[in-house]
Amino acid sequence: MGDRIVVMGGGVIGLSCALELRRRGHEVTLLEIVDCGGQASGAAAGMLAPYSENVEGPDAFFKLCLGSLNLYPAWKDEVRTLSGQTFEYTESGSLYAAYHDADRLSLEGRLLWQRAFGSTGRILEGEELFRAEPLLSRDVKAALYTPEESHVYAPDYVRALEKACELTGVAIFERLEALTVEEWEHSVVVRAKDGRRFEGDRLLVCSGAWAKELEETFGIRIPIYPIRGQICAYGQEAGEVRHMVFTSQGYLVAKANGTLVCGASEDVAGFDTSVTERGIDRLRHWNRQAFLGLADLTPFHRWAGLRPSTQDGYPLLGQLSESKRVMLAAGHYRNGILLSPVTAKLAADAIEGAELPEWMSAFDPERFSL
Ligand code: FAD
Ligand code: GLY
């Protein structure tokens, strides 16, 4: 007989953790104040790109991201099987473009450490680069090619996770509007606005950019802030883009449905998810520098989501020292889609009492409370 686990939040993190815990035999209840997948997770570009997203070096966060990338092939099969739904998973590889000769040096530096961590990447330039990505602007001097990076279509992935949860027996409650954690030290009791009471042995907090609301309840600092990402998509007229293409300003990723998704701004705008002309114009400006053909096109779709950013850029992953009944899995900032399988595995391991690897201390949820 497993534990009774209450998961707060139905984004990619809450759904993945709920699914993994259910697969391991626990009784799981997932509580969502609005709709599952309706926030950052449904807005994401879906890139699984630990090398391109971590340009600084192989720190603990990179290792977490890489570990998750390696879990993806088996994880996505499992989610597809359990949900009976399919979703795009494309092993496109990526190109990180440099526009100046001087930037080639930084690509070389990155290639060096990335090779030590499994990448079989290399630098492409000239004819070879434009054969690989024919529509890429000739202003691009060189690009770091990383074949290991891939992407999913995030809205479908999240829908499949929700379906897999439902079919495996996770009890999902949506549109609860507001939740209060009434008890967390000796047992877990969460109360919904309409008075419904949810009980469990453990509480897993996966409420993304909203997790800070629980600071007072648990008496710890939870410095998670929303960083708005405005993003847009062109239709098939954008032409063929074969790889995910990153520049220092943004990225472009072609989806199997024929759209070219281009992101994304990083704005401090509170919990406002509106799209601004200025935000989209900046994206369009970068996009046409990478693909000249985009200069005359207008994105047909624009949207925005709130990344759960933390003070140091790392997620908060782990149990509270005051009560092992409470675990946080929030603050995945730019990489929550990528990090969903590893977060689910580590959360389930921790809840089952397994010792987490030493490097996980970088993600200690109480590191800001000292
Ligand atoms: P969310 O998806 O925001 O889910 C949190 C949920 O908790 C919400 O549904 C919310 O309603 C609910 N909630 C809030 N308060 C409560 C409460 N008190 N009780 C219960 N529920 C509550 N990541 C990648 O890996 N690759 C990408 O390419 C990528 N691209 C991105 C592009 C954009 C434009 C944006 C905005 C993000 C992108 N991300 C990407 C980041 C990724 O989307 C996030 O890291 C991830 O979705 C976070 O998941 P989450 O479940 O923690 O948060
Ligand atoms: N990881 C891409 C983004 O957050 O925009």
12 CA distance to ligand 1 middle (Å): 7
Pairing of strands 224-234, 301-310: antiparallel
What pLDDT does 370 receive?
Answer: 75
CA–CA separation, 282 and 211 (whole Å): 30
Q: Measure the CA–CA gap between 183 and 67, rounded to whole angstroms.
A: 34
Identify the CATH number of the domain in which residue 65 sits.
3.50.50.60
Same domain flag for 145 and 246: yes
Q: Which two tokens stand for residue 19?
A: 């699914």
Residue ranges lining ligand 1, Cβ < 6 Å: 8-14, 31-34, 38-41, 43-47, 179, 206-210, 213, 229, 231, 263-264, 305, 307-308, 330, 332-338
The answer to whether residue 86 is domain-embedded is no
Residues of the chain with pLDDT under 50: none
The whole-model pTM stands at: 0.98
**Among protein residues, the one whose CA lies closest to atom 38 of ligand 1:** 44
| Residue-level pLDDT at 192 | 98
Asked if residue 114 lies in contact with residue 101, where contact means CB atoms within 8 angstroms, the answer is no
Helices 154-168 and 12-23, axial angle in degrees (round to 10): 30
Q: Are residues 233 and 279 located together in one domain of the fold? A: yes
Overall domain count for the chain: 2
Pairing of strands 244-246, 94-98: parallel
Any atom of ligand 2 within 6 Å of the Cβ of 325 = no
Element holding 78 (H helix, E strand): helix 60-83
Pair 230, 305 in one domain:
yes
Furthest C-alpha separation in the chain: 66
Co-location of 72 and 160 in the same domain: yes
pLDDT at 55: 81
φ, ψ (nearest 5 deg) of residue 114: -65, -35
Asked if 158 and 306 sit in the same domain, the reply is no
Same domain, yes or no, for 131 and 265? yes
In this structure, the answer to whether residues 117 and 239 fall within a common structural domain is yes
Residue tagged 């989209």 (tokens): 280
Ligand 1: atom nearest CA of 151 is 28
Select from 310, 337, 357 the last residue of a domain.
Answer: 310
Same-domain status, 269 and 162: no
- In terms of Cα–Cα distance, which of 347, 356, 343, 319 is closest to 67? 343
User: 361 CA to middle of ligand 2, Å?
Assistant: 24
Q: How far apart are CA 62 and CA 136, in angstroms?
A: 28
Same domain as 209, residue 168: yes
Whether 229 and 223 have beta carbons less than 8 Å apart is answered as no
240 and 303: one domain?
yes
On whether residue 138 sits in a domain, the answer given is: yes
Distance between CA 12 and CA 7 in Å, rounded? 12
Whether residue 290 sits in one domain with residue 165: no
The per-residue pLDDT for 176 is 98
* Residue 178 structural domain: 4-81+154-223+312-369
How many Å separate Cα 327 from the centre of its chain?
19
CB contact at 8 A, 3 and 165: no
Mean pLDDT of the chain: 97
